[in-house]
Amino acid sequence: MAYLNPLTKFLAIKIVYYGPGLSGKTTNLKYIYRKLDKASRGELILLETDVQRTFFFDLLPIKVGKINVFNTHLQLLTIPGQIFHEQARKIILKGVDGIVFVADSQIPLLDANIESFNKLKEDLLEHNIDLFKIPIVFQYNKRDLKNLIPVETFNNVLNTMRAPYVEASALEGWGVLETLKEISKLVIPPWIKKCFKEYEKEAIHKKETVIFSQKDKTTDYVPIKKLKLKSEKELEKEIEKLTKKYAPKLKKN
């Protein structure tokens, strides 16, 4: 569930990038970090814990700007793709507002995509979330390679709800921002409507658009802040802490 501070007009919407291991979830976030202007995004953060095996978790806060009366941020998170990180996935999915499912387009990995998608259904049910009712965008990644799974196959096997999908190469950068824009269009308007009744009236005459401020030039270097955590409880607390960190503080009179 999005974090809302009505006093400061701050809204943080949580989007989780889900998919099999090495499908390109973190590569998506790194490209977004490199492409967006510094004023429009926060730090790229890596959380590590020694519970079971080490897993990685990335958080990239994006400033969308002022929509209606809200200063709206997107909290982008990646989820461990490996099957054995079950508890970590459940923690990260808590309160999720939208999903980007990053599928690996290589033919030998079709079963891995299906297995990961089935785990997504199970993980969402743990939070009483129906996959068919939550905003979701499919990204068919690694389309720059050869011997690919046809888009039609992906749509028949995974995207049976006919949600938006984007063909992409996160490594080369194409399709990445398009994916972010597609999920933004799905998650932002419902929250604006929930928060302010006035939006219902304005929505008839005005369609909200999301524009991400981009750099003219990009570099390959991506600074990553690393945080070492001792337990899954610390992980959950750190996620909540980071979500609120970027909220503007009230000015004292």
d(CA 127, CA 155): 25
Closest alpha carbon to 20 in 143, 147, 108: 108
CATH number of 3-210: 3.40.50.300
**Tokens standing for residue 226:** 């690393």
Coil, helix or strand at residue 148: strand
Task: Give residue for tokens 């049976």.
Answer: 160
The H-assigned helical ranges of 163-197 are: 176-195
- As a whole-number percent, the residues of the chain with pLDDT over 70 amount to 80
Interval 60-106: pLDDT, tens: 778 887 777 778 889 999 987 666 577 788 888 999 999 999 999 99
Report residue 121's pLDDT band, with 50, 70 and 90 as the boundaries: very high
Interval 175-232: pLDDT, tens: 999 999 999 999 998 887 777 654 444 443 444 555 566 666 666 778 888 888 877 7
Model pTM?
0.86
Coil, helix or strand at residue 25: helix
Task: Give residue for tokens 């096997």.
Answer: 157
Residue type, 105: S
Alpha carbon distance, N-terminus to C-terminus of the chain: 31
Interval 14-64: pLDDT, tens: 999 999 999 999 999 999 999 998 888 888 888 876 654 334 456 677 888
For the chain, strand residue ranges (E) read: 3-5, 10-18, 44-49, 55-67, 70-78, 98-104, 136-141, 165-167, 224-229
DSSP letter at 232 equals H
* pLDDT for residue 232: 76
**Tokens standing for residue 42:** 């926060």
d(CA 121, CA 246): 30
**Tokens standing for residue 160:** 């049976």
In terms of Cβ atoms closer than 10 Å to its own Cβ (0-12, 13-18, 19+), residue 244 is: exposed
- Where in the chain are the domains? 3-210
d(CA 115, CA 204): 41
Cα angle, residue 47 at apex, residues 36 and 244 outer, rounded to 5°: 65
